Amino acid sequence: MSLPFAGRTCLVTGAGSGIGAATAELMAERGASVAVVGLPTDSLGDTVAAIDKAGGTAIAIEADVSDAVQVQDAVDRVISEFGALHCAVNAAGISGQEVLLHEEPIEDWNRVLRVNLFGVFHCLRAEIGAMLRVGQGSIVNIVSVQATNPLSKRTAYTASKFGLTGLTKVAAKDYAEHGIRINALSPGITDTPMMRAGGAQSDQIAAFVPIKRVAEAIEIARGAAFLLSDEASYVTGSELVVDGGLLLRPT
Ligand SMILES: NC(=O)c1ccc[n+]([C@@H]2O[C@H](COP(=O)([O-])OP(=O)(O)OC[C@H]3O[C@@H](n4cnc5c(N)ncnc54)[C@H](O)[C@@H]3O)[C@@H](O)[C@H]2O)c1
């Protein structure tokens, strides 16, 4: 079996479920030592156990990405356990309420921005600091097709993901010459706890997708693994859309 990430470490946030968990497991399967990062309430142990069972290496680290100190501590822990940080996938995110802008509770707006935008800023800050010491690295920020074609009544989520696109691009520009590639991956509708919490059934949603099904989390993970890999050595500041053709639909 090919192990393109052998000898490398990878930190994945939101790795207790959904896209983050699938990415952590795939990176471990491809040889990386993985830091499985998420909230204390997340199933981080399940992801680590799945990696262990498959013969990989992983540690769980509890951290709330909206807290810059906790994020820095998480990256420091990766360095102390594994020696260096080579790859990161910033997947932690929340969807917020479905509500018109003038009815958006201020606290909901603040929370979504703190996790989805400030959270990735905290992660990039700590991850890039560590990668500058290695002299290379690769980071993927999980954005959304909603940063291209917003759903209505998702004000905070959409604003956070548009902001994340800008954050990804400026960081990519500033650190390219330091050997650090930073890209966005925008999933379409993916079967995860976040999608299921929205109340819709995957077969109902599938009708809207040109490929006629929602994505499995592993299909998004494969896109992230490509962007992190040497196969994408000349790719930075770009957005990989993995959406089954959703953005091709007329609005
Ligand atoms: N599922 C979809 O259809 C879809 C589509 C487009 C984009 N996305 C994005 O993909 C990413 C992963 O979402 P998912 O679908 O796997 O959902 P998910 O809910 O399964 O995963 C998100 C994870 O992030 C964790 N998390 C939330 N707040 C956190 C915080 N403050 N600190 C650390 N961890 C935190 C959650 O507990 C959860 O484990 C998100 O950024 C989401 O916006 C998902």
Mean pLDDT of all residues in 126-133: 98
For ligand 1, the distance from its centroid to the CA atom of residue 194, given in whole angstroms, is 6
Mean pLDDT of all residues in 212-219: 97
Residue ranges of domains in the chain: 9-248
Select from 3.40.50.1820, 3.90.550.10, 3.30.56.10, 3.40.50.720 the CATH code of 9-248: 3.40.50.720
Which residues, 6+ apart, have CB-to-CB distance to 46 below 8 Å?
16, 21
204-221 burial: b if 16+ Cβ within 10 Å, else e = ebbeebeeeebbebebbb
Quick: pLDDT tens for 31-49: 999 999 999 999 999 999 9
pLDDT of residue 154: 95
Which pTM does this prediction carry?
Answer: 0.98
Ligand 1: lining residues by beta carbon, under 6 Å: 13-14, 16-20, 38-39, 42, 64-66, 91-94, 115, 119, 142, 144, 187, 189-190, 192-195
Cβ contact 112:104 at 8 Å:
no
pLDDT at 213 over 70: yes
